Structure 1
Amino acid sequence: MLKPAERLARDGFTVDPTFRQQTADNQARFKDFPATAKLFLPGGEPPAVGSTFRNPDLARTYALLAEKGVGAIYKGELGRDIVDTVRKPPVDPKAQRVVRAGDLTAEDLRSYATKRQAPTRTDYRGLDVYGMAPSSSGGTSVAEALNILEKTDLSKLSDVDYLHRYIEASRIAFADRGRWVGDPAAEDVPTKGLTSQRFADSRACLIKDDAVLKSPVPPGDPNNPAGPGSCDTRGHAAPTTYEGENTTHLTVADKWGNVVAYTLTIEQTGGSGITVPGRGFLLNNELTDFSFAPADPAVHDPNLPGPGKRPRSSMSPTIVLDGHKPVLALGSPGGATIITTVLQTLLNHLDRGMPLVDAIAAPRASQRNAAQTELEPGLWNGPERAKLEALGHSFKQNPEIGAATGVQRLSGGRWLAAAETERRGGGSAMVVSPKR
């Protein structure tokens, strides 16, 4: 399993403009950590476009994992090196940066366990849409927004009316995300309520054809949704806290029809900036996914840090089944914009009839219960913006939102693979054995 990754780390890959730019963006941090500077800043500068980037330390790490398994991390030498690096960060003596030692222990690694949870599920247009359960907010938020839109025939709307509905559904879903979603081991997260059609109906009635909701929108109560004909606005509004726009997503299908949607992250591009010496990988700064202070002291924030608590993420790996067969899977990086990227791609494909490649490439909007909705240039410069502004929408530009990948089942057991054509330098999509 690890042989291809080991070979790539050993033999290297050709540096493209995106990799160089991401490294340059982190140059000030990277230079303060000798192991990181040695790896990413050869000669003190980011690697040149067209050069070959090799990571022999990482190749040896992969070989160790192949030989000894994950026990090398949680109970072995790799884990010891991680703990040593956290507790005594290897900082350049000349660095002016203040780098505090961490408190990670070997016991923390030994006691860590993956949580096996049932995915979120909702029915949309007769399809089963599965997502990631809390502490990720992706599954609940995508499901709630889909349920809000379930009773609107988006296929018959104009582009402007479609975007209006999509933006407002996103706004509402993020209002409920901020109040209710956190680590279920520490918070009472009403996953079933958030993904129920009854709750969505009590929120969908907030959307008007000729007006725009004012953010921050108050959350509803999925434990006790308003009855038929009533709109749920009983919560106290709080703005959405900031979340970075990085992460990585992979989507894979095999010839037997098995599908994996896999989102992984070290949080910020470059993570903490600290490379474990001799091991070839960066440590994450994932704790920044916590809300370190409530956006509004009057509103309970389920994502405040605590001992042993897992931070809320926006990961939204999504698999769509028709009956018991997967027909579509997708996901994206992008911090909190992951949720809107996945949602908009699903709507583009399932409701607007776009081929998956076009649904991914289409210009994006991202509304996260904020005063302004972010627009990519394709919408910012398009005719839709003025018409949406006339309704009351307010916008700001974002050059790139998300970077999705997806797979789609075709007739005859074939699969289509799709990725970005331009965002983040372009993604990678391929069918390895088309005849299978």
Structure 2
Amino acid sequence: MSRRFIHASACAAALTLVAGAITAAPAVAEPRQTEKQATATGTGGAVSTVDAEASAAAIAVLRKGGNAVDAAVAAAATLGVTEPYSAGIGGGGYFLYYDAASGKVSTIDGRETAPATMPTDAFIDPETGEPYPFTPELVTSGVSVGVPGTAATWQRALEKWGSLSLGQALQPAIKAATRGFVVDETFREQTLDNKERFAAFDSTSELYLPGGDAPEVGSTIKNPDLARTYTLLARDGIEAFYNGALAEDIAEAVQAPPISDDTELPVPFGHLSTQDLADYAVIDQAPTKVDYRGLEVFGMAPSSSGGTTIGEALNILENYDLSAMEGPAAIHHYLEASALAYADRGKYLGDPAFVDVPTSTLTDALFGAERACALDPEQAATKPVAPGDVTDYDGLCPAATAAPAVETDTENISTTHLSVADAQGNVVSYTLTIEQTGGSGIVVPDRGFLLNNELTDFSTVYDPADPNRIEPGKRPRSSMAPTIVLSDGKPLLALGSPGGSTIITTVLQTLVNRVDLGMSLPEAIAAPRASQRNSAKVTAEPEFIESQGAGLEAFGHEFVASGDSFTPQAEIGALEAIEFGPDGSMTAAAEPTRRGGGSAMVLKPAR
């Protein structure tokens, strides 16, 4: 472990916990958890999510003897109630787990899949012969809906590593849906941003646009339909989701969306069928792994591009001593390494069931050393930079190659992440999503949850040479990057973030901040962010441009402020993490301000 990595302690205020969250006691007897705290230090277990109710649900499960996996599922299901525009059983995600008894890191790929009958030109308007406009037309549709994987992920994680049944783990979320949650400014703003899309569907407007407007801040939203859906899964298991009446309702909502009579949006129908749901399966697979400054960094393998892209960037940076650099030089190296890794992401990454993905090469330190040859310590390269040659590398500097076209990236920001740890040392890093803020915009009638629009992560136009081309049954490429870092075989960090294609750079920059630049974990999370994804200009938060832009412009970097048609907020990511101290303490750290701030809790707060 690097001597530069110094554990950061932080005092925690006393926490209000939701008592008896995994029992069936009346929900009205329990206070809602609304107060957020960005950092908490203590022992016995820790959780970091974007939402106080979700964090409290996880802590309550840990308090009653549940383990990290039980608590993660409870928190994720609660997020499906309180953060429904970011995650829920209508979507998918990636589950990364460290088992304290074996010292092994494992993963579950719960990514959505394309329906079996989905044509390769599904995103082309048959009337015009041109691609559907991405927003709001394509994202607000049945054609964008992939087969959900979240419920299957929860079941698989509990079967492999949990101590509770799915029914027990769902109890906090059932209570939250029944008693309702308090609307905050972020929720109202997200609703208003999607008002036109939500109004296109009767079922969605009924739930989230009562009286034709977004719910007022401070009001309470109850979701009895979702409570009944969760109760059905608690009683009958995920068989009730992937077969039977619920599966029929999901397929009907995709193939014949519940369109409002007065919407002007085209809402293309989709192809998902009950057979697609019955055939869905999660994938157990090995994580990616790279060594960085004496630490072991584990991530998610394809179909996610998170583990390979972060791993490659770290392998590039391993060739430079960032901690010895002055001024903006270290950030210049981070930006350039990211661009190089993104070039390879665009060239090689797709679903390995359909594409020959060179995962071992992309995470090979020797390949990273060769890619580092393209990093000029004094000058930013002209973007886009060329991908590396995965068929022939020896760590030596190759001849220059022609640069590719800029990758088109429509992966959206609305995702959520949670990190959980228990007293036994088990750790979960879990990123889940429904893609767009509000997903496809379609609430399954009488079921209370939004369906994803994850298939928009495929390239819009079919190209046989594109590893992310549309194909039936395929998982679209993702940037979700749940990450666990070990030191001497023991957990040191668990982290992840939402943010679409900026997830990778958010996690990468946080690691650089913490490991190389001497920041504490809360400082590393709060620091202004910049994202270089092999494009002509670096996307950066306004605060980053103000504080570091001038110094980096001297290296040749150009900037554009974050915030556009896909990411209207001037923010990049919303990281949730846990750090493990050498004394057995845990520091849960969440965003202090981004997305309204996150919620960090520990089971036994330090005094």
Structure-1-length-normalised TM-score: 0.96
The 5 Å alignment of 1:8-407 reads: 8-225=176-393, 227-231=394-398, 233-234=400-401, 236-242=403-409, 243-293=411-461, 300-382=465-547, 384-398=548-562, 399-407=570-578
Residue equivalent to 2:98: none
Asked whether the equivalents of residues 255 and 272 of structure 2 are also in contact (C-alpha less than 8 Å), the reply is yes
| Per-residue deviation, 1:232 | 6.0
Counterpart code for 1:237: P
- Are the counterparts in 2 of residues 221 and 232 from structure 1 also a CA contact under 8 Å? no
Contact 1:408 1:415 in 2 (8 A): yes
State the 1:221 CA deviation: 1.5
Measure the CA separation in 1 of the matches of 2:387 and 2:470: 21
Write the distance in 2 (CA, Å) between the matches of 1:200 and 1:29.
43
- How many angstroms does 1:233 deviate by? 4.0
- Alignment CA distance shift 1:291-1:233 (3 Å): farther
Counterpart of 1:417 in structure 2 is: 588
Q: How many residues align?
A: 430
Task: Please give the per-residue CA displacement for 1:49-80, whole angstroms capped at 9, x wherever unaligned.
Answer: 11111111111111111111111111222212
Deviations 1:226-268 (A, max 9, x none): x343236446512121222221111111111111111111110
Aligned-pair RMSD on alpha carbons? 1.4
Contact 2:299–2:481 (CA<8 Å) still a contact in 1?
yes
Letter in 1 for 2:580: R
Amino acid at match of 2:503: I
**Structure 2: stretches of 5+ with no match in the other structure:** 1-168, 563-569
Tell me what 2:58 maps to.
none
What residue in structure 2 maps to residue 427 of structure 1?
A: 598
Q: Distance in 1 between matches of 2:289 and 2:395?
A: 23
Amino acid corresponding to residue 69 of structure 1 in structure 2: G
Asked if the contact 1:190–1:223 (Cα under 8 Å) also holds between the matched residues in 2, the reply is: no
Question: Which amino acid in structure 2 is aligned with residue 361 of structure 1?
Answer: A
Structure 1, unaligned runs of 5 or more: none
Give me the whole-angstrom Cα distance separating, in 2, the residues matched to 1:152 and 1:216. 22
Q: Is the 8 A contact 1:409 1:416 kept in 2?
A: yes
Deviation at 1:378, TM superposition (A): 2.0
Give the CA deviation at 1:118.
0.7
Query: What secondary structure is seen at the aligned counterpart in 2 of 1:432?
Result: strand
Seen in structure 2, the aligned counterparts of structure 1 residues 360 and 232 have a Cα distance that, compared at 3 Å, is farther
For residue 534 of structure 2, give the secondary structure of its aligned residue in structure 1: coil
CA contact (8 A) 2:200 2:263 kept: yes
Check conservation: 1:221, 1:235, Cα contact below 8 A.
Answer: no
In the superposition, relative to structure 1, how do residues 232 and 21 fare at CA in structure 2: closer, same or farther (>3 Å)? farther
Deviations 1:342-386 (A, max 9, x none): 00001111111111111000001100000000111222111x311
**Any conservation in 2 of the 1:218–1:238 contact (CA below 8 Å)?**
no
Match of 2:101 in 1: none
Secondary structure of 1:220's partner?
A: coil
Aligned partners of 1:174 and 1:240 also within 8 Å: no
CA distance in 1 between counterparts of 2:384 and 2:582 reads 45
How far apart are the structure 2 equivalents of 1:85 and 1:244? 22
Give percent identity, aligned residues only.
56
- Does the Cα contact within 8 Å between 1:220 and 1:233 map onto a contact in 2? no
Q: CA deviation at 1:293?
A: 2.5
Structure 1 pair 397–127 and aligned structure 2 pair: CA distance change class (3 A): same
2:533 maps to a residue whose letter is R
After superposing the two structures, state which structure 1 stretch, 128-137 or 71-80, moved more.
71-80
Q: Contact 1:15–1:47 at 8 Å: present in 2 too?
A: yes
| 1:220 and 1:232 in contact (8 A); partners too | no
AA paired with 1:197?
Answer: A
Contact 1:137 1:177 in 2 (8 A): yes
Cα drift, residue 411 of structure 1? 3.1
Structure 2 CA distance for aligned equivalents of residues 375 and 189 of structure 1: 30
Q: CA deviation at 1:106?
A: 1.2
Q: Which region of structure 1 is more displaced relative to structure 2, 323-332 or 189-198?
A: 323-332
Distance 1:260 1:70 in 2: 21
8 A contact 1:219–1:233 mirrored in 2: no
- Paired letter, 2:404: A
| CA deviation profile, 1:214-235 (whole Å, cap 9, x unmatched) | 111110012322x343236446
Shift of 1:88: 1.5
Aligned residues of 2:251 and 2:272 also touching (Cα < 8 A):
yes
Post-superposition CA distance 1:79-99 (Å, at most 9, x none): 121112112111112222212
Instruction: Say which SS state the counterpart of residue 433 (structure 1) adopts.
Output: strand
SS at match of 1:429: strand
Contact 2:387/2:403, CA 8 A, preserved across alignment:
yes
Question: Residues 356 and 324 (structure 1 numbering): CA distance in 2 closer, same or farther, change over 3 Å?
Answer: same
Q: Secondary structure at the match of 1:293?
A: coil
SS in 1 for 2:353: coil
